[in-house]
Chain A
Amino acid sequence: MEETRNNTGHNLGIAALITAIITFVLAVIPCVGLIAIIPGIISIVLASVGLSQATRTNAQRGLPLAGLIIGIIASLISVSQIFVAGKLAGTAGKWPGEIQNVINDVQENVIKDLEESDVSIKIESNGDKVEINAGSGKQDREQTLEDLEGATTTENDTIPPKK
């Protein structure tokens, strides 16, 4: 008597296994790992249907079972990529603080430069000329103070300018 081989769920098992292995490879690569959840779910569905068909008809269950196991593991790896993204986001989260520090430093330097500098604005319109000179006059004031102090004191007790 010739033995007949029952192949119910066989094709679904092959499809599930192929999808599961592709998902497995994709899930490990961080760039596309999160997308791998889609083929992962597809492989689990295919394997489950194939497995249920094979169980009902008492056919071989090796392929859909392998597809199901690899599909589940691959999907878990894919989901775990969220943690990798979280870690990267944590690193990225430090950037705003660092940028803020740089901005503060630049702002302080600009204010310091403006305090010590003289500003001159010249406007010419239809032959009329307006010139505005503004400045902190810090050096002049320091010189005046030196002169005044020099008249009464012998020692130079003026606070030296900041370097």
Chain B
Amino acid sequence: MIQSLRKSETLRKIREGFRDEPYLILNAVFTGIIVLVFAYSAIFSPDTNNYPVACIHEKITGEPCFSCGLSHSFSLLLRLRFDEADSWNPYGFRVFLFFVSQIIMRIVFSVLWTKHEETRQQLIILDSAGSLMIFLISFWPFIESILTSVF
């Protein structure tokens, strides 16, 4: 009884939060986008090779870039074919882990946000810093390629 009351209280807070708190709206939108990314990887199959997004660099220069094969890699990772995923793009796994970590972080931080009102400021700082760190680690090969091209 008490548990169900607590649950309904949390749900009410989340519902109210969506109306007033941009943080929860942002988390909900990003969760939705990441789910769409996974859905894209699940729908389009590496066996049929029917991906709608083509690499612009390859079209312009005829040379594959660092991120070519990322869609294939994602699809294969979702199908637990790790070796094939690695052969399509060696950086696919770390980028995939970024999206997985983000979906977990969005849910966990949203729950913490609604439950602990007194630590919201710290929560945002922790979320921003943590997400930025994970982003830099996951996308570093791509960032490095841009930096070496520019400078």
- Contact surface of A with B, Cβ cutoff 8 Å: 10, 13-14, 17-18, 21-22, 25, 28-35, 63, 77, 80-81, 83-89, 91-92, 95
Contacts and interface: CB of A to CB of B under 8 A. Distances in A.
Contacts of B146: 28, 30, 33, 77, 80-81, 83-84
B70 A29 contact: yes
A30 B26 contact: no
Contact of A13 (B22, B56, B63): B22
Given A18-B29, A91-B63, A32 B53 contact: yes
B33 A31 contact: no
Nearest to B69: A31
A54 to B, nearest CB: 13
B45 interface: no
B25 to A, nearest CB: 6
A13 B23 CA distance: 12
Contacts of A25: 135, 139
A88 B65 contact: yes
Contacts, number: 82
Contacts of A87: 149
9 contacts: A14-B25, A28-B142, A29-B139, A29-B142, A30-B145, A30-B146, A31-B70, A34-B56, A89-B63
Contacts of B145: 30, 84
Contacts of B60: 85, 88-89
Nearest to B91: A29
B149 A86 contact: yes
Contacts of B30: 18, 21
Nearest to B95: A29
Given A18-B30, A30-B57, A31-B56, A88 B63 contact: yes
